[in-house]
C-alpha cells in the first residue's frame, strides 16, 4: 500500500512540470509587425494573413499580427520604434518608404519587404542572391524595363495618348530612381508622348494636381509605384469624373480604385511569398541567407467599365492581349 501511495505522489510531482512545459510551448506567441503608409486591405495584405494562417500561425493563439495604421511618415517612424522596443520577431514593410524607415529603426530584427523597388540600389541588400543584411523579401519589378513597358502599354490602350501627367513620389525617403525615370523619359520620346512631371510629397498634393487637370491639358495620368500611391481611390474618383485615363500599380487599383488598366506583378502571390519568408525566419532562417525574389509574371488588366465611363474605346487587339478584362 505504501509503495502504491509513493508511486502516486511521485506521479503527481511530475504532472505540474510536464503540463508547464507543454503549456509554455503551446502559448508561444510570435509577434509580426506590418508597416504600411495609408493602410489599405489589398490582395497582398490579405494574402500575407492567409499565408501565415496556412503555415500554422493563428491570430490570437500563437500569432500577434500588428497592422498599425500610419497616415504619415512620423507615425510610421513611431510605429517602427514601437516594434523595436517591444522586440517583435519580424517586421514586414509594404514598400520602399516603409522599408527605409524599418531599416533606420533596427539592424537586428529581420525585415521582409513586400515589395521593394530596386532593393540593391536603395541600399536594403548587398545583392539579390545574397542580401547580407537583416532585410530580404520581394521586388516589385525585375529590372527597369518594366517601367518603360508600362508607358508603351498605356499608349496601346489609349492610342491617341500624346500628353501624360506623371505623378512622382518626391518624398525624401523615396526619391525617384534616376535610371527608372530616365528610361520612362526615353520610352516617352520613342512613342511620341510628352511627359508632364509633377513631384508630390503626399496624397493630398497628388489630389490637388489631379483636380487641376482636364482633358484639354493631359491625355492620361501615370503614377510611380511607391507606398505613397498604394491607395488611388481619391485620385481614381477625380480622374473618372474628369474622364482622364489613369494607370494603376496593381490589379486592385483597376478593380476598386478607378484606374483604367495596369501592367504589374500578381500582388496576391507576393503576399503569400512574404508569408513564406516570415515563416522561414520564425523557424530560424537568417534574412541575409534568403535570396530576394523577383516577380515571375506581369499581368495586364483592363477595366472596360472604366473605359466606358470615361469615353475611351480600347482596340480589340489590345483586349485580346490582356490577361484579365473587367466587364
Instruction: For Cα atoms 232, 272, 277, give the angle at the middle one, nearest 5 degrees.
Output: 115
Percent of the chain with pLDDT over 70: 86
Among 257, 244, 253, which Cα is nearest to 299's? 253
Phi, psi of 7, rounded to the nearest 5 degrees: -65, -40
Identify the bridge partners of residue 41 per DSSP, sorted by sequence position: none
Tell me the per-residue pLDDT of 203-217, one tens digit each, with 9 for 90 and over.
899 999 999 999 999
Contact 133, 124 (CB under 8 A): yes
Tell me the per-residue pLDDT of 115-137, one tens digit each, with 9 for 90 and over.
888 888 889 999 999 999 999 99
Q: What is residue 138's three-state secondary structure?
A: strand
What does the pLDDT read at residue 217? 96
Contact 172, 280 (CB under 8 A): no
How far apart (Å, rounded) are the C-alpha atoms in residues 235 and 88? 35
Helices (H), the chain: 2-26, 43-54, 73-85, 96-105, 145-157, 178-191, 203-211, 233-241, 251-255, 267-282, 304-310, 316-321
276, pLDDT greater than 60:
yes
Of 154-163, 181-190, 216-225, least confident by mean pLDDT is 181-190
Pairwise pLDDT comparison (320 vs 225), residue with the higher score: 320
Report the chain's terminal Cα–Cα distance, integer Å. Answer: 83
pTM: 0.80
Q: What is residue 142's three-state secondary structure?
A: coil
Phi, psi of 296, rounded to the nearest 5 degrees: -95, -20
Tell me the per-residue pLDDT of 24-57, one tens digit each, with 9 for 90 and over.
455 689 999 999 886 566 788 899 999 999 999 9
What does the pLDDT read at residue 267? 87
What does the pLDDT read at residue 140? 81
C-alpha cell at 149: 513597358
Phi, psi of 248, rounded to the nearest 5 degrees: -110, 150
What does the pLDDT read at residue 279? 98
146, pLDDT greater than 70:
no
Tell me the per-residue pLDDT of 68-120, one tens digit each, with 9 for 90 and over.
777 788 999 999 999 999 999 999 998 888 999 999 999 999 999 998 888 88
How does residue 145 score in pLDDT terms, banded at 50, 70 and 90?
Answer: low
C-alpha cell at 111: 525585415
Pairwise pLDDT comparison (195 vs 37), residue with the higher score: 195
Q: Give the chain's domains with CATH numbers.
A: 29-141+267-289 (3.40.50.2300), 145-265+298-326 (3.40.50.2300)
How far apart (Å, rounded) are the C-alpha atoms in residues 261 and 259? 6
What does the pLDDT read at residue 8? 46
157, pLDDT greater than 60:
yes
What does the pLDDT read at residue 41? 63
Pairwise pLDDT comparison (179 vs 316), residue with the higher score: 316
What does the pLDDT read at residue 15? 52
C-alpha cell at 249: 500599380
Cβ count within 10 A of residue 50: 15
Identify the bridge partners of residue 29 per DSSP, sorted by sequence position: none
C-alpha cell at 222: 501615370
How does residue 219 score in pLDDT terms, banded at 50, 70 and 90?
Answer: very high
How does residue 302 score in pLDDT terms, banded at 50, 70 and 90?
Answer: very high
How far apart (Å, rounded) are the C-alpha atoms in residues 188 and 306? 24
Pairing assessment for the beta strands 298-303 and 261-265 based on DSSP bridges: antiparallel
Percent of the chain with pLDDT over 90: 62
Amino acid at each position: 500500500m505504501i509503495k502504491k501511495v509513493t508511486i502516486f505522489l511521485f506521479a503527481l510531482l511530475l504532472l505540474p512540470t510536464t503540463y508547464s512545459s507543454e503549456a509554455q510551448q503551446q502559448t508561444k506567441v510570435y509577434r509580426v509587425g506590418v508597416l504600411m503608409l495609408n493602410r489599405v486591405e489589398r490582395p497582398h495584405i490579405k494574402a500575407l494573413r492567409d499565408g501565415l494562417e496556412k503555415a500554422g500561425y493563428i491570430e490570437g493563439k500563437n500569432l500577434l499580427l500588428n497592422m498599425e495604421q500610419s497616415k504619415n511618415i512620423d507615425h510610421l517612424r513611431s510605429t517602427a520604434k514601437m516594434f523595436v522596443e517591444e522586440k517583435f520577431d519580424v517586421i514586414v514593410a509594404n514598400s520602399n518608404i516603409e522599408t527605409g524607415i524599418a531599416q533606420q529603426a533596427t539592424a537586428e530584427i529581420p525585415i521582409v519587404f513586400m515589395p521593394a523597388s530596386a532593393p540593391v540600389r536603395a541600399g536594403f541588400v548587398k545583392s539579390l542572391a545574397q542580401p547580407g543584411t537583416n532585410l530580404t523579401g520581394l521586388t516589385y519589378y525585375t529590372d527597369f524595363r518594366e517601367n518603360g513597358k508600362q508607358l508603351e502599354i498605356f499608349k496601346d490602350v489609349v492610342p491617341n495618348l500624346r500628353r501624360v501627367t506623371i505623378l512622382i513620389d518626391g518624398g525624401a525617403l523615396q526619391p525617384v530612381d534616376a535610371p527608372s525615370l530616365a528610361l520612362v523619359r526615353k520610352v516617352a520620346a520613342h512613342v511620341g508622348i510628352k511627359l508632364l512631371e509633377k513631384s508630390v510629397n503626399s496624397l493630398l498634393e497628388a489630389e490637388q494636381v489631379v483636380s487641376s487637370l482636364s482633358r484639354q491639358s493631359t491625355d492620361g495620368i501615370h503614377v510611380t509605384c511607391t507606398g505613397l500611391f498604394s491607395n488611388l481611390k481619391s485620385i481614381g474618383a477625380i480622374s473618372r469624373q474628369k474622364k482622364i485615363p489613369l494607370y494603376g500599380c496593381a490589379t486592385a487599383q483597376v478593380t476598386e480604385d478607378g484606374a483604367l488598366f495596369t501592367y504589374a506583378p500578381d500582388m496576391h502571390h507576393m503576399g503569400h511569398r512574404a508569408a513564406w519568408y516570415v515563416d522561414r525566419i520564425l523557424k530560424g532562417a537568417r534574412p541575409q541567407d534568403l535570396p530576394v525574389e523577383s516577380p515571375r509574371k506581369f499581368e495586364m488588366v483592363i477595366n472596360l467599365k472604366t473605359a466606358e465611363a470615361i469615353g475611351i474605346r480600347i482596340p480589340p487587339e489590345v483586349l485580346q492581349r490582356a490577361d484579365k478584362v473587367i466587364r
